[in-house]
Amino acid sequence: MRLNTIKAAAGSKSARHRVGRGIGSGWGKTAGRGHKGQKSRSGGFHKVGFEGGQMPLHRRLPKRGFTSLTRRYVATVRLSQLQRLEASEIDLMVLKQAGIVPTLAQHARIVKTGELTRKVQIRGLGVTAGARALIEAAGGTIDAAAA
């Protein structure tokens, strides 16, 4: 096989339709646009979702939910992940170096998921009430600025 002999599979490529080029082409006269009407004319299109003046579906349905713009910058950390860390003093930089939170993270919050049996010192991180209780029960401390 040579590169200059490679061809597409039979039937996989078809010639493009040159519309409006006479009756013999099969795409003459109206050129596939049908008869009359807005869509048969040049420039005759309307915006996506337009329903002829009827209130469009996207405006009839109620707005619901909320997308936080800062969500990608706030990471969630489990207690089980802290258990696996070797460091006893934990802050955002330690979590980033360990690969627990993404490098884009500007804040992190510790949640009560998993077990923590060793003593750790938390600095500059958010802590939920359940996680705070488990950290303090294990003999750990949480910096006042973290709350």
pTM listed for this prediction: 0.56
* CATH number reported for the structural domain that contains residue 100 in this entry: 3.100.10.10
Does a structural domain hold residue 109? yes
Does a structural domain hold residue 135? yes
Give 44's pLDDT tier (boundaries 50, 70, 90). Answer: confident
Whats the size of the chain, residue-wise? 147
How many alpha carbons fall within 13 Å on the CB side of residue 72?
A: 4
Does a structural domain hold residue 95? yes
Retrieve residue 1's tokens: 């096989």
Does a structural domain hold residue 94? yes
- Measured CA to CA, the distance from residue 117 to residue 135 in angstroms comes to 8
Which of 135, 127, 122 has its CA nearest to residue 95? 122
Does a structural domain hold residue 81? yes
76-89 pLDDT, tens per residue?
999 999 999 999 89
**Domain boundaries, position 101:** 71-146
**Per the structure, how many domains does the chain have?**
1
Mean pLDDT of the chain, nearest integer: 92
Does a structural domain hold residue 125? yes
Does a structural domain hold residue 2? no
Asked whether 118 and 111 are in contact (CB, 8 A), the reply is no
